[in-house]
Amino acid sequence: MGSRTGLLLARIGGLLGELADEGLSDAGLNAREYAIMAILSEDGPDSQHELAQLLGKAPAVIVAVVDALEQRGLASRTRDPADRRRTRVTLTGAGREALVHADRLARQVTASALHGLDEDELEHVHALLAKGLGLA
């Protein structure tokens, strides 16, 4: 597996997924909720549908998670004034606070999963992945 980068990335993705729910529990979030909140914070999608596309998930999956976030006061939905058929999702103040805490926990989960890397190496991996995805 060592020479197969795709398999290594898939393996680390699976490991992070396994560790994320437990690691994020102190923030009262699961991995899917954290991912949605992080995307709302970083990318500010124009609609709930675009949010689903960014996550690569079916809109129905996103609706259920956003429902849970909204019920807990971490996110809110509003109709787009330019197109009432579109629903926008944004983080609330409480959601932004929860995300700050969850980001710290997520960094700990990543460091734990990649325990053979020091802080500089973790930052380098992040930079390389962002560059590879065209985000840097």
Find tokens 């999963």 and name the residue.
113
CB 67 within 8 A of CB 51: no
Find tokens 């939905």 and name the residue.
77
Greatest distance between any 2 Cα atoms in the chain = 51
**69-118 per-position pLDDT tens digit:** 999 999 999 987 888 788 889 999 999 999 999 999 999 999 998 999 99
**31-59 per-position pLDDT tens digit:** 999 999 999 999 888 888 899 998 888 98
CA distances from 129 to 1, 5, 122, 132, 136 (A): 19, 12, 11, 5, 9
CA distances from 69 to 18, 64, 76 (A): 21, 9, 8
Structural domains of the chain ordered from first start: 24-132 (1.10.10.10)
